[in-house]
Amino acid sequence: MTRVTVTANARLHFGFCNLSLARERLYGSLGVALDRPSVTVTASPAETVRCERDSIREYAERAVDLLGVDGAAVTAEEVFPRHVGLGSGTQFALATLVAVARAHDQPVDVRGQAPDLGRGGRSGVGVAAFEDGGFVLDAGHPTARFTTDRPAVGRWSVPPVAARHPVPDDWRFLIVVPDGPAGPSGDTEDRSMRSAVESAAPEPSDRLAGVVLRRVLPAITEGSAERFGAAVAEVGRLNGTWYADEQGGVYRPPAGELVAALDDDPAVYGAGQSSWGPSVYGVTDADRAATARQAGRRALETADVDGRVFVAAGRNRGADGPD
């Protein structure tokens, strides 16, 4: 019996380049792969789908159907929370797909088959992080085709990678995950995104174009964590103007209080909300990582919420497992 294990890692999502229907490309996202936390999925052939975790079963059933195999016994040996802004859904789905395919000695096209799993419909960062890691800027979708609603599952293509750069070895990312409600997902997320896109003004996208071209990309290319942190924080603030009505402000509470507290600490070069949150990130470096971690704990105390604080490095390779 073939037993295959695949490990995939979290990612940060800094925001989109455009949500306005007045511009010719929609979305276009920026993000970075992290070295932790991770999910480890193991699969072996079976006559039916066998999986103890309901959160993994849905991905296993989709993978089995997509691959046209009888079934699989799937276990998740390491997990991280869903819908907290760290990209667990895409990593779970793709790790399960690859593990099931390889267990059955079947070919797998991660980028081509991701839409059939409902992944890559807006942001391509999660798929790109699974493939090769690093910092990623994707090209988004043609607005005329995508409009405000995603096409039916499987009827879109994952946005192509417009730019990818390795994350410098000495960069670190402070992650603060406050306790509380998970971010929107499924139909709720679709409704929120549709509302945000339908009302999105074009001016922030024009400002974002300048921030990405003149600040984010030069900073990652030159290896300046300080300039990169300030630039992606600005990306997040501009994105927040589009989402304010949907999430209760530029950041979804309590992320705003956490970001404000981190912005006041010199060990953090820039802070923001990852995706819908509630996770908040801060850009720092190896020399300041311990101080930044303390700043994260103080930020939770300031916001009067409990939560988890950790520091991650960037990850410059894709998921671990069979080729």
CATH number, residue 37: 3.30.230.10
| pLDDT reported for residue 54 | 82
Tell me if 318 is assigned to some domain. Answer: no
| pLDDT reported for residue 146 | 65
| pLDDT reported for residue 183 | 82
Tell me if 188 is assigned to some domain. Answer: yes
Tell me if 321 is assigned to some domain. Answer: no
Q: Give the C-alpha separation, 323 to 317, whole Å.
A: 13
Tell me if 320 is assigned to some domain. Answer: no
Contact 118, 103 (CB under 8 A): no
| pLDDT reported for residue 18 | 97
| pLDDT reported for residue 151 | 64
Tell me if 236 is assigned to some domain. Answer: yes
| pLDDT reported for residue 237 | 97
Domain membership of residue 236 as a residue range:
4-313
Count of domains for the chain: 1
| pLDDT reported for residue 81 | 82
Tell me if 221 is assigned to some domain. Answer: yes
Tell me if 322 is assigned to some domain. Answer: no
| pLDDT reported for residue 185 | 80
* Ranges of the chain whose pLDDT falls below 70: 1, 146-154, 323
pTM of the prediction?
0.94
Q: Quick one: which of 150, 155, 121, 152 has its CA closest to 138?
A: 121
Tell me if 99 is assigned to some domain. Answer: yes
